[in-house]
Structures are given as C-alpha cells and as structure tokens.
C-alpha cells in the first residue's frame, strides 16, 4: 500500500463549503465612508498647506495691475517673485483670510487683500539687503496689499530728485538720450479714441489712425552707481516748457535713507506711488523698513493684453507674444 493510501486510510473526505460572509452592518458602512471622506479632506489639507508653504518661503506668482513700472512691466504681466532672496520676515507668510474671500466673492464687497498679515516684527531670518536696481514687491506700512517697485537707495544714501533727475549722494545718475517706444495695448486694453484720458493720457502719446491707436512712451535709460541700467518713462522731459511742479515726485528731498531701510521708485516716474509719495496719498511714505520687502521679481511667465473674455476661444488672442521668460534682473552697463 502506498504512503498516500495509508495516510488517507482509504476514506474519502468531502470538501467543506466555505461559510457565507456576513453582510457588513450599517454602522460599519458609515465608518468606512467617514474614513474615506476624512482621507480626502486630509489630502486636500496637506496639498493646501504645501502650496501655502511654497508661496510663503520659496516663490509666489504676482500680477501687474498698474502702469507704475512701465516700460519693463506692462499691465497684465504675470511674474514669479522669489520669497527667499532676502530671507524671511513677518510679511513673508501667505495666510488666507476666508472672511475677506467671502466678502469679495459672495457679498461683492471689494477687499484690499485675501490674506492675513502678521504683526510687525523687527529683522529677517537669514536676511540680506537688496541690491540697488532689484525689482521687489513691498507692502506699504499700515496696508495689506503688495506694490512692485525698484530699489534705488540703500541705507546711508542721500536721495534727491530735481526736476525729474535722480541724484544719489549728490551725484546725478547717468541718463541716456530721450527715445520712444510704441505700445499697442497700453494699460491692458486696446486703445480707442474714447479711451483717451484713461489709458494713454500723456501729452502727444496717442498715435495712429482710429481703431489702430498705440501709445508712444518717452523713455530715458538710467544707470545706477553699481552699473545696473534700465529704461524709465520720463513724461516731464518729453514735454518741454511744462510746469516743473506738475508731476508729483519730480522734486523730492534731499533725504538720507535710515539704517535697515530702502528707498523705492517706480520706473514710470511720474505715474508711481512710491517712496516719494506720502502714505495718505497712496505712496510708501519715504524709505521703507526692509522687513516690508516681500521678495524679488525674477521673470515674466506670461502676459495678458486685456482682450480675453470668459469665452475660451478668446484666450489665445488675449496673450501678448514675446513676454514669457523675460528676466526682470536689470542689465549692467558696459
């Protein structure tokens, strides 16, 4: 007899049918569903936290809403701001304000910002002072909104503007010859005769036939003491014989930048609420403590010309060509 038959003893054991699985109780179904929902909520929470952390400490997008940095930055430009460039201060964290969002989106009550600002704290973590010529975002003291300006003066500098000419430490900055650039969609919208006064409202600025207007901007290239150069819009120089006090900010100072402060100006000199303009007039109220600097502008990602609507077919035509990837670091004069 084989070993197999000996072990089985010649008897056949029928297979036992498995018992049927009992249906889960309603309470178990509810717990499983609640667990699944909680996992989804936790996943969304960690995703939001990661995005806010990236915006707070690495980089964030920024949209150009005004003409104060023409010609380098046009209305509708979308750019990247490096939050780590100068270290981090109380102004760095991106903290959403649900109440402001609700009032703005649901109640249609415009809010200054959708974010919460932390109380002012002196100093910066791993901080360093910006370089002269850097383009930075800044929050005016007492406000909760971001401006974008250029660093002109550093601690100890003596800043003065005489009839539109910038002086740093009693020396006028190097200025090139007057020249012009034509913008077909100044202000983020296509120019028409009816829009004169709200877009290209500069002397002799509106050019071209009806329906094909463009804005002709007078430019002067400036070079700072460290050799960094950039274009500025100089409306006063383009209008000889005009009142030298007509453009606010064309005469300012002299004023010495205090320690731990920077002096900021817009490239569109006569259309910029910057360190030359008082806080109650929408400006920065003089040199700004470096804690209010939120980051350094790096490059343009894309630019909208204001022609796009909710219709997806208009989106491609609403983009300006040739703007994506443009560096916002000023060139050095050779």
According to CATH, the superfamily of the domain at 64-89+124-332 is Umud Fragment, subunit A (2.10.109.10)
pLDDT digits (tens, 9 = 90+) for 6-30: 444 545 455 555 555 556 667 777 8
pTM above 0.85, yes or no: no
Name the more confident of 214 and 326. Answer: 326
Whole-angstrom Cα distance, residue 94 to residue 55? 6
Q: Where are the beta strands (DSSP E) in the chain?
A: 59-63, 77-82, 135-138, 147-153, 158-162, 165-168, 171-172, 174-175, 179-183, 206-207, 214-223, 228-233, 252-256, 261-265, 288-289, 293-303, 331-332
pLDDT digits (tens, 9 = 90+) for 74-130: 888 999 999 999 999 999 888 877 887 888 788 888 877 777 888 888 999 998 999
Whole-angstrom Cα distance, residue 224 to residue 133? 7
Is residue 151 within 8 Å of residue 141, measured between CB atoms? Answer: no
Residue in 74, 70, 64, 67 with CA at minimum distance from that of residue 233: 70
pLDDT digits (tens, 9 = 90+) for 297-313: 999 999 887 777 777 77
At 79, list the tokens. Answer: 């750019």
pLDDT digits (tens, 9 = 90+) for 220-277: 999 999 999 999 998 876 665 555 455 778 899 899 999 999 999 999 998 899 999 9
Q: Give the residue extent of every domain in the chain.
A: 32-60, 64-89+124-332, 93-123
Q: What is the pLDDT of residue 51?
A: 83
């Amino acid at each position: 007899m084989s070993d197999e038959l000996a072990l089985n003893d010649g008897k056949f054991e029928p297979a036992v049918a498995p018992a049927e699985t009992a249906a889960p109780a309603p309470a178990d179904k509810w717990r499983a569903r609640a667990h699944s929902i909680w996992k989804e909520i936790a996943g969304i929470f960690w995703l939001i936290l990661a995005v806010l952390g990236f915006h707070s400490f690495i980089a964030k997008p920024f949209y150009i809403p005004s003409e104060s940095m023409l010609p380098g930055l046009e209305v509708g430009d979308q750019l990247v701001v490096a939050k780590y460039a100068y270290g981090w201060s109380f102004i760095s964290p991106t903290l959403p304000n649900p109440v402001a969002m609700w009032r703005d989106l649901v109640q249609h009550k415009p809010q200054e910002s959708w974010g919460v600002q932390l109380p002012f704290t002196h100093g910066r973590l791993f901080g360093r002072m910006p370089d002269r010529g850097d383009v930075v975002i800044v929050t005016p003291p007492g406000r909760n909104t971001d401006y974008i300006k250029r660093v002109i003066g550093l601690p100890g500098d003596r800043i003065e503007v005489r009839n539109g000419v910038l002086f740093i430490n009693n020396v006028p900055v190097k200025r090139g010859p007057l020249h012009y650039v034509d913008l077909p969609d100044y202000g983020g919208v296509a120019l028409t005769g009816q829009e004169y006064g709200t877009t290209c409202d500069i002397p002799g600025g509106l050019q071209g036939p009806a329906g094909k207007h463009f804005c002709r901007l007078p430019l002067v290239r400036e070079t700072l003491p460290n050799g960094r150069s950039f274009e500025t819009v100089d409306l006063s120089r383009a209008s000889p014989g005009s009142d030298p006090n007509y453009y606010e900010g064309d005469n300012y100072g002299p004023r010495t930048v205090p320690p731990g402060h920077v002096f900021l100006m817009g490239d569109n000199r006569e259309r910029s609420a910057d360190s030359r303009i008082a806080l109650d007039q929408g400006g920065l109220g003089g040199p700004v403590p470096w804690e209010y600097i939120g980051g350094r502008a790096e490059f343009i990602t894309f630019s909208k010309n204001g022609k796009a609507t909710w219709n997806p077919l208009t989106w491609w035509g609403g983009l300006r060509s040739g703007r994506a990837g443009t560096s916002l670091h000023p060139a050095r004069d050779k």
